[in-house]
Structure formats: structure tokens, C-alpha cells
Amino acid sequence: MGTQHPTIDDSELGTLTRAESTLDDGQTVTHDWFAGTLASSDQEIELVIDGSSSEQVERLVPRTRAIVAELDSIRRRASDAIITRFSDGEPTPAELDDGFNDLVLDTIEATVETTVLHFTDSCGQHFPEGFWPAVQLDETNSILEVSVES
């Protein structure tokens, strides 16, 4: 992360900085999003907020805060939706509980249109290696879509 870009220090979300990557040849690429890390009770969750300026990102901060404030409930609804979407039949309560325990929320990605929650299958029993489920939320935190990315 470079120091030539402004940072956003938020009391709930932590420090968000303009994301940069260093290529193999040493060149630095500056991305059109800010990134940070949210400390959860048992892990760290990456925050990615769309915007190339602090002003653009600050418009999405309140929505991201609202998701973080309801994260336990939203995470449960999202994992239930993933297990339900990719089950052959109606999942049992035990299967939903297993999914909640096995699907780890890695990243919250906020854009103007949606927020996407990216998960990892921690046990490898729900999705093949190299595939991970994602859940799109609308502005009211209702689930719009459940998908698998690779």
C-alpha cells in the first residue's frame, strides 16, 4: 500500500487504503478500490470498497458499517442461502448448521450497486478446490444472488 494516496480511518471499519499491487517486474499497479481488514471474533475479513477516491469510498462506508453491525445475522442468512442453492433437496437444519460452520467469510466487497460476500469452503466438502461461493446483497441487505466463482 502506497503512502501517496489518502487513507480513511473509520472507528468501526479500521483503516482503508487505496489498494496497490506490485508486479513481478517491480511495477506498482494502483487499483480503483480501497482495502482494509476487519477483525472478527475468530479471523480477519478483508474489506474491499469500490472507488478511486476517498470521497467515492466514504459514500459506501455507512452501508458497509451497517453490514458489519449485522454481520452474524447476515453471514448466517448467506450461508443458509448457499447451502440451500447448491443442495439436491431441501437441506436439513443440521446441514445448514454444518454449512454455517464450514463456510468462512473471507471478503466483503462493497460497490454502489451491491455488496458481495465471498466465502471459502474450509473443509472442502461443499465445493471443489478452486471454487468459492459468493452472495450478493442489495442496499437493504436482502440476498439478490448466490453464485460460485472460480
pLDDT bucket at 42, cuts 50 / 70 / 90: confident
pLDDT bucket at 2, cuts 50 / 70 / 90: very low
What is the DSSP code string of 63-114? HHHHHHHTHHHHHHHHHHHHHHHTSSSPPPHHHHHHHHHHEEEEEEEE-SS-
At 50-59, the pLDDT tens digits run 999 999 999 9
pLDDT bucket at 40, cuts 50 / 70 / 90: confident
- Cα–Cα distance for residue pair 28/61, rounded to 1 Å: 26
Q: Identify the bridge partners of residue 115 per DSSP, sorted by sequence position.
A: 110, 137
Contacts 24+ apart (CB under 8 A), 127-136: 127/86, 132/106, 133/82, 133/86, 133/103, 135/78, 135/81, 135/82
Checking if the pLDDT of 1 tops 70, the result is no
Query: Which pLDDT score, from 0 to 100, does residue 6 have?
Result: 83
- Cα–Cα distance for residue pair 108/134, rounded to 1 Å: 10
Percentage of the chain lying above the pLDDT 90 cut = 87
8 Å CB contact between 51 and 104: no
pLDDT bucket at 5, cuts 50 / 70 / 90: confident
At 118-136, the pLDDT tens digits run 999 999 889 998 999 999 9
**Closest C-alpha to 142, from 61, 47, 73:** 73
At 8-39, the pLDDT tens digits run 999 999 999 999 999 999 999 999 999 999 98
At 85-113, the pLDDT tens digits run 999 999 999 999 999 999 999 999 999 99
